[in-house]
Structure 1
Amino acid sequence: MNTLRVLEGRERYELIHLIAEGGMGTVFKARKIGVAGFEKVVAIKMMRNKFSDSEAYVRNFISEAKLVANLIHENIVQIYHLDRFNDVYYFVIEYVDGVSLYEFIDFHAKLKKRTPLDLAIFIAARVARGLAYAHSRRGPDGKPLGIVHCDVCPHNILINTEGVPKITDFGIARITSKSAAERHVSGKLAFMAPEQARLEEVDFRADLYALGIVLFYMVSGKMARDVTLPPNEQLALARENRIDWTLLPEELPEEVADMLRRMLATDPGERYSDTALLARDLEYFIYKDGYGPTIVTLADYMRRLMPGRFGIEPAGPETIGDSDRTVVITPQ
């Protein structure tokens, strides 16, 4: 039985099944077991063993946990605990029972449909509120931390069964005070702001740009740039801010098109001066005539749209790697 050291009394974690697996880390659905039959479903993000000797990767992994630990907002996935076993770090995070925004958009594409405009704006507004919270955080000295997510994209936006959008994976988030020597191109090229692609200093407005590409994707069902090109050509498009505006639906309201043009401006100075202002404009569009979409509206829509996918749990513990048993993380 595989074990990891847990420092929280007699608690233990049972890894139920693999959620996602990337090049440098894995995420598992897990069950936290406490005293007197206490249980809580969580997720565990774990470093791959082969990166445990990489000082830079370990530093980034720990930085993500520390950075997000104090970001407590309904639209941000919460981190609960950081620990390590045999020099392999892992952290325990909020488990989001639902789908990623990428799955949500892709499901529409397979049905040859587009995301309903009011729901697309609602999702973008909720993400903007989460980002506004992160962007506005201050340190113990009262000075702004200058947090920038740097990887806002549909894969990093989750929607739970209650219809609440949540931002996740602050793995490459940065503080804007980083020196030029510490900057490197990281993130999804398809959603990257021009200044980020050019290795220039970035601030919260890079996240506004990325959210603009996400909103473009939702309302059009198409990517704003050609994602079939080789990475170097996609990087060039990002640096030049090439946007195919002809892909937007002709019936798209001008107010929404105006917001997109502002979010996707080449010059960061022409974008929104505050993330909360963007959230307000998005919310005004969907609520200005009275009642608009809520998390209940979104949850009900997803259940109707994806009855065979939404809210269905695996029948039991799934195989993790080459193992045919549930892995348990226990104190030693």
Structure 2
Amino acid sequence: MSRPPASLGPTARLVFESGGYRYSVLRHLVTHPHYNTLLLASRQHADGGPVKLVELKPVVLDEGREGLERVLEEVRLARFLRHPNIATVYGYAVQNELPHIVMEHLRGCYLLTVMDAAVAVGRRLSPAFAAYVAAEVADALDYAHRSEGDDRKPLHIVHRAVGPMRIRLGRNGRVQLTNFGAAYSELLGRIRSPDGLLRGDPAYIAPEILLGFLRPKPGQRDLLTPRNLTGRADIFSLGLVLLEMLVASYPLDPPDSLWRDVKRRFPGEVRSEVPTFIKLETLADRVLHFGPDEVQRVAEEVPPPLRQIVSKALRPNPDERYPSADKLRDELRAWLRGLPQPYGAKDAEEELAELLKEASDLDKLAVHAGVERGVLPVPPDVDTEEFH
């Protein structure tokens, strides 16, 4: 988990040069204990030229050289992820010995912002909007899952952290999957995850990752990274996100009476990379018991074709899910095309703009500044017309 540099306050202006570029930090974009800290900055070549808005992700290094190697690994992996639905990583910059991952900034907001805005104004995202967003993310995942290294061998990338704060929605209807920092891959020279560290986001974790710990297979070196881990784990995570958009609530957080805590499944030395809002063992129990019956109950009001798609994406057994993310994408897009009025990027752009305007007019999201800042409304300290 990254933290902002101590010298940067909410309204501070840091200017520094690194790698031939001049960076001017405008403000915090995200500051929340559950998510990576993100800074909004401008970037310009030291010799002049166009100014570009970018996001900086400060990365607090572990002791020794391993921390810097992990930063370099994330940048190296990004070389193989050039896709319009995946946020581009430009490299890294160093300020006062603290490295920052430098990423593309898509004007818009994170999916979590949109979901919170919808709840605040008492409305739901349309099923078509949810299906469109999920289809675009599935397209990005399919590309990542099929990516190859320089030697033309599959990298077997698994994002492991697909969730509403890793999905960014552009004001032009574009959808991007961001932050492959917790990704599993077979990149040559990849650093093995520390023992006992649960990578990714536990709130959207696939059950096979937990089962890899509970029932490890022979020869499994990392109990929290099963040997048979595939992109189907990301399909499960995206299925949870899709279901959350459709029902306007977190699917694994039903009335307490429907769940029973069990004895601890994880020893004390197992820790999550991302803080959890409920105990890790309770969350794991809910994931492992979230089967077809629970999906059908939660998705009772979802249009039947979408309910079937979600149910298949959320099968506990990965062999029963979609075999690849493109199959999920294709079914979602087929449903969108079959609507009385086919739904696409322009429709998503209009629905997003309408929702954010309604939430901004009602001024109901003051609390949201603690997660993503500057969406409602755009802060007066940023002249967005200056950048491109």
Same fold (TM over 0.5): yes
Number of residue pairs matched?
313
- For the pair 1:129 / 2:142, whether they are aligned, the reply is no
> In structure 2, do the counterparts of structure 1 residues 183 and 141 end up closer, same or farther at CA, with 3 Å as the change threshold?
farther
Paired residues of 2:14 and 2:25 also in contact (CA < 8 A) = no
Residue number among 315, 318, 332 corresponding to 1:282 in the alignment? 332
Residue number among 24, 29, 33 corresponding to 2:40 in the alignment? 29
Q: SS in structure 2 opposite 1:150?
A: coil
Gaps of 5+ in 2: 1-12, 212-223, 255-276, 361-373, 384-388
Q: CA offset at residue 84 of structure 1?
A: 2.8
Partner Cα distance (1:257, 1:244) in 2: 8
1:23-66: CA deviations, max 9, x gaps? 59532111112345521111111223xx3535444333332222
The one of the two structures with greater contact order (alpha-carbon pairs below 8 A, sep at least 6) is 1
Q: SS in structure 1 opposite 2:168?
A: strand
Q: What pairs with 1:11-160 in structure 2 (closer than 5 Å)? A: 11-21=21-31, 26-34=37-45, 35-36=47-48, 38-48=50-60, 51=61, 53=63, 55-160=65-170
Counterpart position of 1:272: 322
Q: What pairs with 1:129-278 in structure 2 (closer than 5 Å)? A: 129-175=139-185, 184-198=197-211, 199=224, 200-201=226-227, 202-226=229-253, 229-241=278-290, 243=294, 245-250=296-301, 252-278=302-328
State the Cα RMSD in Å.
2.7
Partner Cα distance (2:316, 2:323) in 1: 14
- 237-246 vs 309-318, which moves further: 309-318
Partner Cα distance (1:225, 1:180) in 2: 27
Q: CA offset at residue 72 of structure 1?
A: 1.3
Partner Cα distance (2:336, 2:36) in 1: 38
Paired residues of 1:148 and 1:176 also in contact (CA < 8 A) = no
Counterpart position of 2:220: none
Partner Cα distance (2:63, 2:320) in 1: 43
Q: CA offset at residue 311 of structure 1?
A: 7.7
Give TM-score scaled by structure 2 length. Answer: 0.73
Residue number among 297, 310, 324 corresponding to 2:347 in the alignment? 297
Partner Cα distance (1:218, 1:55) in 2: 41
Gaps of 5+ in 1: 319-332
> In structure 2, do the counterparts of structure 1 residues 288 and 231 end up closer, same or farther at CA, with 3 Å as the change threshold?
same
Q: CA offset at residue 216 of structure 1?
A: 0.6
- 271-280 vs 230-239, which moves further: 230-239
Q: SS in structure 1 opposite 2:30?
A: strand
Q: CA offset at residue 310 of structure 1?
A: 5.3
Q: CA offset at residue 68 of structure 1?
A: 1.8
1:133-158: CA deviations, max 9, x gaps? 11110112222110000000011111
Aligned residue identity for 2:296: W
Paired residues of 1:208 and 1:275 also in contact (CA < 8 A) = yes
Paired residues of 2:15 and 2:24 also in contact (CA < 8 A) = no
Q: CA offset at residue 180 of structure 1?
A: 9.4
Paired residues of 2:54 and 2:103 also in contact (CA < 8 A) = yes
Partner Cα distance (1:6, 1:138) in 2: 30
1:237-269: CA deviations, max 9, x gaps? 22344545322243x222211111111111111
Aligned residue identity for 2:181: G
> In structure 2, do the counterparts of structure 1 residues 44 and 180 end up closer, same or farther at CA, with 3 Å as the change threshold?
closer
Paired residues of 1:43 and 1:94 also in contact (CA < 8 A) = yes
Q: CA offset at residue 230 of structure 1?
A: 2.5
- 60-69 vs 238-247, which moves further: 238-247
Give TM-score scaled by structure 1 length. Answer: 0.85
> In structure 2, do the counterparts of structure 1 residues 4 and 120 end up closer, same or farther at CA, with 3 Å as the change threshold?
same
> In structure 2, do the counterparts of structure 1 residues 116 and 75 end up closer, same or farther at CA, with 3 Å as the change threshold?
same
Partner Cα distance (1:131, 1:256) in 2: 19
